[in-house]
Structure 1
């Protein structure tokens, strides 16, 4: 038998080991995981290779739960519903919705984690200077703050921050990123003369930063969470029926501004 492993080594993974009659995920026999790990714990184990438990697991699950849906006006949800009326299957409808998540819709959590870490590195006393640099490099919007619909408060954010406070009080997270988030919120309110609420992206970014997630995973976890809402809406639209639904009812027309 040849000792050549060039084919086996083509894809290298520490995630799964498998042979007929045996599956091990991150070193754990799958039969030991089934019934003994919650889905959120399993996501964390699969993605990071580490176990998560206690209030840290509760925080992670809370972040996933909070971001599942924001209604048919959300581009990802709307796209999935429209796709469903075109006669495609649920997986294709879900893919259509997930493919709408980008730097603007779905990327703010990743950006907020980066911003929080930049503020942590510079120190809170340099908050204004750090925000000014961020705006110079990335534009005037501060990711994770302000909401065009939820004013003066995004109802998800205080609950998530409260859970972070509980975990910090027990020593399971440090709590510094919650402090940074609240400091940004206060600064923006002073700057604009009105409340600028931390939104779902900011609150979940606080959690992911507290849990030590690399910033890109904040976006990945948001997509994982939002896929639940996408599936729910795609299925609801399939049950409701409808054919070739566009973004507006057919009696409404677009504005033609050509010659």
Structure 2
């Protein structure tokens, strides 16, 4: 590696940097102090926050990653398998295709819930509630406000787990065990208790939503919450590709659509016409 010119611009970083005979990462010697010593979950947290997490923080963080890694034949998994079928020479393309599907319906719920809870907590006056009744009052106010504007509460409801999402109580339990059950989780838990009073029906607290609350309580950047969901899902998509190699289903999925399509007359696009007048 050539030495930088003395008048060259400087680009400071606390992350990875290389010299002729060493690599540093987060101020540590990568080979001597990180490799074989720091687990991947701990390292991911450390990279994002530039502070080494506690043992409890690592446990909660890795529980989130496990909760979000794989959910079976979701659209992200299917598109990863289909892309690999089309381009088996491009594993990176298959993984990227699946990750690009992480949006408001799948995976993005983690970010949406964390941001929503954070906005509620930072948008109110006074200190945080001190007991369950206080959290219930705040949650009731929050759900009612969303209902009044016709908006959903992020993280409330699940398309498969209609009664309860098994990930939610487990992650809350782990956070409590590590004394990391903070205001975001407290508000989310209260929403689970009180929302039937407003909505007239009982919905489960989504596992991806509780992950967003837990990540926010860990103090991780809200702007990166979806990134952590994608980090977890990358492992799951690698698993999907590994299984596709052993027990391929992508071609059957493709043929089930290709051989069962039916021709219909074209339907010209007609833009919606706004009604005249106003208030």
Q: Is the shorter-chain TM-score for this pair beyond 0.5, marking a shared fold?
A: yes
The equivalent residue for 1:238 is 245
| Worse-matched range after superposition: 187-196 or 240-249 | 240-249
* Equivalent in the alignment of 1:101: 102
Shift of 1:236: 1.5
Q: C-alpha offsets along residues 171-202 of structure 1, whole Å, 9 cap, x if unaligned?
A: xx253222211111122233233321111122
Partner of 1:15: 15
What is the SS of the residue equivalent to 2:189? helix
Structure 1 residue corresponding to 2:158, chosen from 147, 152, 155: 147
What TM-score comes out, normalization by structure 1 length?
0.86
> How do 1:37-186 residues align onto structure 2 when only pairs under 5 Å count?
37-72=38-73, 74-88=74-88, 89-121=90-122, 122=124, 124=135, 125-134=137-146, 140-168=151-179, 173-186=180-193
Change (3 A) 1:257 1:47: farther
Conserved in 2, the CA contact under 8 Å of 1:143 and 1:201?
no
- Check if 1:227 corresponds to 2:234: yes
Q: Secondary structure of the residue that 2:38 maps to in structure 1?
A: coil
TM, length-normalised to structure 2: 0.81
Matched, 1:253 2:261: yes
**8 A Cα contact 1:14 1:26, kept in partner:** yes
For 2:25, the equivalent position in structure 1 comes to 25
CA deviation digits over 1:128-157, x for unaligned, max 9?
4434555677x6221111001012011111
Change (3 A) 1:187 1:239: same
Change (3 A) 1:21 1:114: same
**Counterpart in 2 of 1:217?**
224
Structure 1 position 102, deviation (Å): 2.0
Stretch of structure 1 that moved more, 177-186 or 124-133: 124-133
Matched-pair contact (CA < 8 Å) for 1:143–1:202: yes
Question: Using the alignment, how far apart are the partners of 1:142 and 1:86 within structure 2?
Answer: 38
Q: Is the 8 A contact 1:208 1:218 kept in 2?
A: yes
Report the structure number with the largest CA radius of gyration: 2
What is the Cα deviation at residue 77 of structure 1? 0.8
- The 1:66–1:255 alpha-carbon spacing in structure 2 relative to 1, beyond 3 Å, is farther
Moved more, 185-194 or 220-229: 185-194
* C-alpha distance in 1 between matches for 2:71 and 2:8: 48
CA contact (8 A) 1:111 1:215 kept: no
Count of residues paired in the alignment: 250
CA distance in 1, matches of 2:194, 2:263: 40
Which residue among 3, 8, 14 is the counterpart of 1:5? 8
Counterparts of 1:247 and 1:104 in 2: how far apart (Å)?
26
Distance 1:203 1:126, change over 3 A: closer
Post-superposition offset of 1:257 = 5.8
Find the residue that maps to 1:56 and give its secondary structure.
helix
